[in-house]
A and B are shown apart, each in its own frame.
Chain A
Amino acid sequence: MSLLSMAPSLLLGAELGAEASEKQPSVADAVFEHVTDSHVLEFHWPFGGQLVIQLPHWPVSLFGHVYDFGPTKHVVWMWIASVVLFLVVFLAGRARGKSLVPKGLSNLIEMIVLFVRDEIALKTMDEQMADQYLPYLLTAFFFIVFSAGVGLFPFSATSVGNIAVTAALAGCTFVLMQVAGISHQGFFGYFKHLIPAGVPWWMTPLMFPIELLGLFTKTFALCIRLFANMIAGHIVIFFILGLVFIMHTPIVAIGSVPFAVALYLLELIIILIQAYIFTMLSALFIGMSAHAH
């Protein structure tokens, strides 16, 4: 999903539309086709020609329903992002060797690692817990940055712009919240302390369901926030570029292309901010559930 990948398919759409007026794909069709998941990987070359890879369907029957576990476009790009992330971080750790002085790539990665440790983990948890949950928080931060970063390249897709992916990430945080709560306060202690101290005992029937629901709303908000922020920028960029086709005049490009480029740069900042917010809130929720409030 990118600026470059969209234009040819839109052109294609326009040509098709001219030829067969009854099957006229709109700009909105093209845009949503690019931001949603599919079983097709499409690469369009700038001067004609394209590569289309059909991804397999792996139907699995579970609980009376048939689910498709075949890798989709978003799965593939998530894997690509994961491999890139692994290589970058692995090489960054390896590049320095035994020297205590970081340089180049290791310096950058280390700076971010230190940021996550000092500004996120240590601000929300005690030292022992921070040490325990840092690998999760660091991976979440880098995973979001790399998945969304990969989505900025031509012909790629932003996997964290899919609600299923963000739901899975938020689900992981949810599980860790429960793990942290139960391991620090005991099973009953954790659920007892869901109700804030100082609330009168007769409020329990009201407060307990609310707090229990709160666990899920926190997770839900985590999921929706990341998903919406990641997909919104892409949709806006596509529609602004799509103005050329909606207006049927290339003159619009004079305004819409620079504007789209500006939004593209804004996306870079949004990716970092959203990765920070997701990691920060995950750390906050995990830290909160570990200690009775």
Chain B
Amino acid sequence: MEILNLLADGFIIAFEPQNLLLMLIGCAVGLFIGAMPGLGSVNGVAILLPLTFIVPPTGAIIFLAAIYYGAMYGGAISSIMLGIPGASTAVATTFDGRPMALKGQADVALITAATASFIGGTISVILFTGFAPPLAKMALAFGPPEEFALMLLAFATFIGLGSDDIPKTFFSIFIGLVFSAVGFDIISGRPRLVFFDIPGFLHGINFLVLAIGIYGIGEMLWTIELSKGDVQMSQATLTFRRLLEGFRNVGQTWKATMIGSFLGYFVGILPAAGATPGSLMAYGVAKMVSKHPEAFGKGTAEGVAAPESANNAASTGSMLPMLTLGIPGSPTTAILLGGMIIWGLEPGPRLFVDHTEFVWGLIGSLYVSNVFALLLNVLLIPAFIWVLRLPFTLLAPMIYVLCMIGGYAATEDMHDVWLMLIFGVAAYLMRKLDYPMAPAVLAIVLGELAESSLRQSLIISHGSPLIFFDRPIAGSITVCALILIVLPLLKYVKVFVRPKPAQP
């Protein structure tokens, strides 16, 4: 009951006119920043942080959290409409959102994304409200072996999908892993894989560069080949009736949305993971448990609902270790953490006790921000649809320009723009050869974390891999992951052993 009292106090703070206004502006700004390729919640929060000195800390965190949220909603927009991930967190949304738009279902995809985001956001705030302290303990229980086990599980979900060509999936993952290893080695502190001694490789390959290359440039080349530049991007229409239908559709994606919400939230809580791996994992798991896994990647609403609910849930989740432990769960919360120090608050175990007004005001605002973001998003759908109706000759150059900006904005290095173009052409060729691209993106996102946690674990265990099995949490996750990897392989082996069982 005490929690409900505190929450009520939080709502009173959140409903102060100034705070309501801050949320509305924050959501709108976030939506825009999220929708711009290359700019994500990290950039938005970092750029606007100094502006927050004019309001009290509670208002400031409410504003920045609203931007964080809005950006999660906004990222889906360009993923669906243009096929370029608007933010790193929306990469997985491209997998199915884009094909849906090409089929003329952009409105359904947008509505699915918005509602899934809303549900994911709301479920995660409820979890946050009820179980912050025990969940913070859970985050602490994750050491290097557990982190690695989780990474293994993430990869397993992508291998264990069954419907893709497994050797090609492996190849795609390995390519991604090699790219993630470029730059510096954290254990020995030495540069490695700096191709041709080009200094641009020293900071590693930013995976947004890879993702924009693959899904922006590669996709455009593919479309040009298919259509010979002759076709409209999609026959998007929007009537009130279709809008209603879109909402009715949501019922069919509830399973994917639930998976996304819970998985996203838990992955978000873990320090160092964050919303991007969370949404990718949710996509993989949703595909695995779906009745129609073969429809994934070809434009199914489930494939949009899972990552979108997950990235919103994860963004709330990642605030939990920040507030309770003083450890950021994502790059964006790292900046929020900096902000709190500037406002004179010490994030950490004492925050919930010493600054209840701040904490509960923020929690209250998360509920309200979610509603604002949903409303803004739905109201703006007609404007997004209008973009799709532009002729291809106008839209294609626009997308190229946005890709260039996105590739540059991520690291502000021209080197990365060239790299993005190369990735785009390579992705186009690989697509012609029918290689899946999503596993490569997953690998480059998770590769660094997987590598450092693997090596830290092995240092701790004197090189014995048993460390991944004899600890309860790590052990159970590792076993799950191994089963997922082995199952489809068995199927594959069977096909080889008995090539044509149907023949007499």
**Do the two chains belong together in a single complex?**
no
Interface residues of A (CB under 8 A from B): none
Binding site for A on B (CB under 8 A): none
